[in-house]
Amino acid sequence: MFGLGGPELLVIGGIVLLLFGPAKIPALAGSIGKGIREFKKGVKEVEASVHAADAPAEVAPAPVASVTK
């Protein structure tokens, strides 16, 4: 995971705890989670619009005129 081991993650977690305090961490984690969900939703919408634009349009066959002699 990005070349980070257990000790590095513990140091980063300790720094976050010191900066934000134990009361703010759940709110911070929740806002990060909401941001990630919104980002994924936006990516899915863009992918859907790209796939819709790439899909060939359904063309109805031309009517066949009957020829009588």
Q: What is the pTM of this model?
A: 0.54
Integer Cα distance of 66 and 4 in angstroms: 74
Q: Which residue has the higher pLDDT, 63 or 17?
A: 17
Per-residue confidence (pLDDT) for residue 31, from 0 to 100 = 93
Residue 2: band (very low, low, confident or very high) from pLDDT cuts 50, 70, 90: confident
Number of H helices, E strands in the chain: 1, 0
Token digits for 31? 């806002």
